[in-house]
Amino acid sequence: MHQTAAPGRRARSRRTGRILALLLALASAGAAGAQQARIGYVDLQRLLDNAPQMSDSSERLRAEFAERDRALKADEARLAGLQDRQRREAGLVTPDAGAALAAEVEALERRVRRTREALRAELRRRGEEETEQRWREVNEAVAAFAREQGYDLIVASPVFYASPAIDVTDQVLARLRTGSGQRPP
């Protein structure tokens, strides 16, 4: 029984040795392949801060909401004037006139508050829509750049460390500027 156990151990030992050799070969092949992989890094915050698509989006939103913002400011100015008038005339007008002015001030205050809240909500919603669309454009630009330049992996921020040698943020920004009709700096 002792003699048959030894050949079994040797066979297991040979199999284990072969498996280890195979794993070492695969690991070295993987390491060789990893050395040939092209890896890049993109600073997403810098892209979003400097991409012309983002500033174009902000301009679009400003233009879209300009008229409503002007109307709100006009109502706020009118409200401030009415409140000032109410303070000045507090003891000088009849109770009916004072109550009418107070009702007008209160109604305008409610209207201004509702308009302001509605405008903020709509601006926030539209801002999120615009950001989502621009975000997709930035992601597509990064992916297209990576494919065209033969990158195997592009890592986005935040990362612990990225060598400036693999930072492709400026090239992607140039691509985004070209795509938006702006010339690279």
- What does the chain look like in DSSP terms, one character per residue? -HHHHHHHHHHHHHHHHHHHHHHHHHHHHHHHHHHH--EEEE-HHHHHHH-HHHHHHHHHHHHHHHHHHHHHHHHHHHHHHHHHHHHHTTTTS-HHHHHHHHHHHHHHHHHHHHHHHHHHHHHHHHHHHHHHHHHHHHHHHHHHHHHHHT-SEEEESP-S---GGGB-HHHHHHHHHHHTTPPP-
Q: What confidence tens digit (pLDDT) does each residue in 85-140 have?
A: 989 888 788 889 889 999 999 999 999 999 999 999 999 999 999 989 988 999 99
Same-domain check for residues 80 and 169:
yes
Same-domain check for residues 5 and 46:
no
Same-domain check for residues 60 and 150:
yes
Is residue 47 in a domain? yes
pLDDT above 60 (res 183): no
Is residue 134 in a domain? yes
Same-domain check for residues 99 and 21:
no
- Asked if the bond preceding 158 is cis, omega within 30° of 0, the reply is yes
Is residue 131 in a domain? yes
Same-domain check for residues 19 and 50:
no
Q: pLDDT value at position 48?
A: 86
Distance of CA 135 to the CA centre of its chain: 6
Query: Band of the pLDDT at 49, cuts 50, 70, 90?
Result: confident
Query: Band of the pLDDT at 23, cuts 50, 70, 90?
Result: very low
Is residue 11 in a domain? yes
Query: Band of the pLDDT at 24, cuts 50, 70, 90?
Result: very low
Same-domain check for residues 75 and 47:
yes
Same-domain check for residues 172 and 110:
yes
Same-domain check for residues 157 and 88:
yes
Same-domain check for residues 86 and 174:
yes
Look up the pTM and report it.
Answer: 0.62
Is residue 185 in a domain? no
CATH no. for residue 51?
3.30.910
Same-domain check for residues 21 and 45:
no
Number of domains in the chain: 2
Is residue 86 in a domain? yes
Domain that holds residue 23: 1-36
Same-domain check for residues 20 and 109:
no
